[in-house]
Structure 1
Amino acid sequence: MKNADLAALIRTIPDFPSPGIQFRDITTLLLDGPGFALSIERMAAGIATPPQAIAAIEARGFVFGAALAVRLGCGLVLLRKQRKLPGTVTGIDYALEYGQDRIEMHVDAVPPGQRVMLIDDLIATGGTALAATALLRSIGADVTAASFIIDLPDLGGAARLRDVGIDVTTLVEFEGD
């Protein structure tokens, strides 16, 4: 497994949040200072074209996105759940397995044409990441790359992002989830 050292720091919690789910818990990676630092360094090393901003998805994406933005010396755009940001926002509704959700961002967070990289802790089905990409592109952002700590390739999210022109990098894959 690539990045087996980082994978060993990620705890698996069986049957959470429901029976049959193998929850990949990155809080144990965050508790390991050297492992957390190494994950940021490896994310940064995988970036072909440095972004002008990092767009991080609430909430665990904020942790990795903020650290990566500091490492790259660029700004951080917060993609939040509905009604969490002050000021004027724009948002997008998207489908979940059982229902709908919405993410929002400040309307003035990204100038048209700015190179933005999407960051989150995990890519599963890709629904939230696809919605985030659509939201950012709707205001003129140039979103062509995304990075995640964990990929669950059997759920197809990374492939769905690639289908819309996103270069996806991940550090760890867990098959069969």
Structure 2
Amino acid sequence: MSALPTSSTDHPPHGHPENITTASTQTTDKPATSSHPPPSKPDPTLSSNASQRGLSSTAAARSTEFSSLTIKLRQALRQFPDFPSPGILFEDILPIFADPSLHEALLRALELHVTHAYSDAQKPDVIVGLEARGFLFGPSLALRLGASFVPVRKKGKLPGPCETAGYQKEYGEDFFQMQSDGVKPGHKVLVVDDIIATGGSAAAAGLLVKKLGGTLLGYIFILELDFLKGRAKLDAPAYTLLSS
């Protein structure tokens, strides 16, 4: 960003520097054909080691695919200086959703992250998306993962019995709500949003998950205003997809 945003609200416009470490590409040892491999290296000719070699090759391919996808996504972002006010560099993520191939790339990258970061036993049952930009990709990601999608909205926007959690904004307190039957006790949950800024709204969503008896696996964001140190407010692992 060319300058820091003048507002410290949790959901400022998309002026986001990015912050993530992408997965590193793994390499596999070439089979030894002229001599027996040392004890520290498995013999590639043994069938007992074939499955391990296959796993390494698959992991390397997925890492390469992930790196390619994130590069494509970063290149798709548009920057608008001094919007919506002087001193803010606005990072526009909407071109990703305007192009079907980029939209697919976003979902695939997120899917690769989740399947790599969480074992089958930890597979999320629910994706919780924050109002409003978490709604852009949360439902599609949930569908790909075979999970349900549950929205978190501002107080008074959802019908029926709701659980409520407050969070601090620059000029006072605001409230998030989730329908009381959205998350069941024992459900494993990921919270998603486009950006993490001060972390207050994401933390409120995590609190709602816990109030309803869910297990909070972590948070996923596309971008991060890392100078606001919002992830310090979160009590579960936070992951940001794109970095500069």
- TM-score (normalised: structure 2): 0.66
The one of 166, 170, 173 aligned to 2:240: 170
**How many equivalent residue pairs?**
171
- TM-score (normalised: structure 1): 0.89
Structure 1 portions without partners, runs of 5+ = none
Q: What does the per-residue CA deviation read over 1:33-86, in whole Å, with 9 as the maximum and x for residues that have no partner?
A: 111111111111111222000000011101111110011011001101111111
Instruction: Work out whether residues 15 and 21 of structure 1, in 8 Å CA contact, stay in contact via their aligned partners in 2.
Output: yes
Higher relative contact order (CA 8 A, sep 6+): 2
- In the TM superposition, residue 160 of structure 1 has moved relative to its aligned partner by 3.3
Structure with the largest fraction of strand: 1
Structure 2 portions without partners, runs of 5+ = 1-19, 23-69
Alpha-carbon separation, structure 1, partners of 2:163 and 2:77: 34
The one of 102, 118, 132 aligned to 2:175: 102
The one of 92, 109, 114 aligned to 1:25: 92
Corresponding residue of 2:132:
59
C-alpha RMSD of matched pairs (Å):
1.6
The one of 79, 97, 109 aligned to 1:12: 79
Alpha-carbon separation, structure 1, partners of 2:136 and 2:80: 21
Q: Which has the larger radius of gyration?
A: 2
Corresponding residue of 1:137:
210
- In the TM superposition, residue 159 of structure 1 has moved relative to its aligned partner by 4.0
Q: Runs (4+) of structure 1 moved beyond 3 Å?
A: none
Give the 3-state SS of the residue equivalent to 2:124 in structure 1. coil
Give the 3-state SS of the residue equivalent to 1:169 in structure 2. strand
Corresponding residue of 2:102:
35
Corresponding residue of 2:164:
91
